[in-house]
Amino acid sequence: MEITVPECLMHPLFFSGRKQQIDPGADSLENRGFFPYELIYASVPQNAETPWQDGKRYIPQYLEYWKGVKSMLEGQFRQREKHTKTGMLEGIAVFISILFWSNRKPVVLKGLDKELGRLETVPVNIGERLCFILNRPGSYPSFCQLSELIDEQHKHWAGKQAKVKWQK
């Protein structure tokens, strides 16, 4: 299905033009399209799933997906392959989704620095660290930083979930 990328999701790393082909049932983010839930929600909100409102269901799926991407990237970096950018973009998209969804918000890429400031549950120095990764998406140091950020955000989200359970 072809969707017009809304202004709030326009970012040159993820979308090269205004029209984007997405396949919500595909097995990888590269084939599914980056940020498919937000894209569908922007086009047809009444039929869209909203994972940012149901993090308990969707965040564990993305964390599990990250394990496969991470394993693939570890192999590529170990073999010193030069084509790591595609896998890294998938990992970055996973992290950004988890980051926003764990704050019960849909992903917004336009004005990302400002949007990060509006999020309550984030890793330390998120702005600088994410900027580093976005500026060098195919590098090994970016991969290490991305892995750390995903681990930290997972811990923050899990802690938040435990607090909610404990307060009930």
pLDDT digits (tens, 9 = 90+) for 111-153: 999 999 999 999 999 999 999 999 999 999 999 999 999 999 9
Question: Could you tell me the residue ranges of all domains in the chain?
Answer: 51-167
Beta carbons within 8 Å of 33's beta carbon, 6+ residues apart: 3, 20, 21, 22, 23, 26, 39
Q: What is the residue type of 100?
A: F
Beta carbons within 8 Å of 138's beta carbon, 6+ residues apart: 82, 84, 85, 88
Confidence of residue 2 (pLDDT cuts 50, 70, 90): confident
Residue 28: the pLDDT is 60
Residue among 33, 37, 132, 28 nearest 72 (CA): 28
53-107: per-residue pLDDT in tens?
988 999 999 999 999 999 999 999 999 887 788 899 999 999 999 999 999 999 9
Q: Distance between CA 158 and CA 28 in Å, rounded?
A: 25
Task: Fill in the DSSP letter of residue 3.
Answer: E
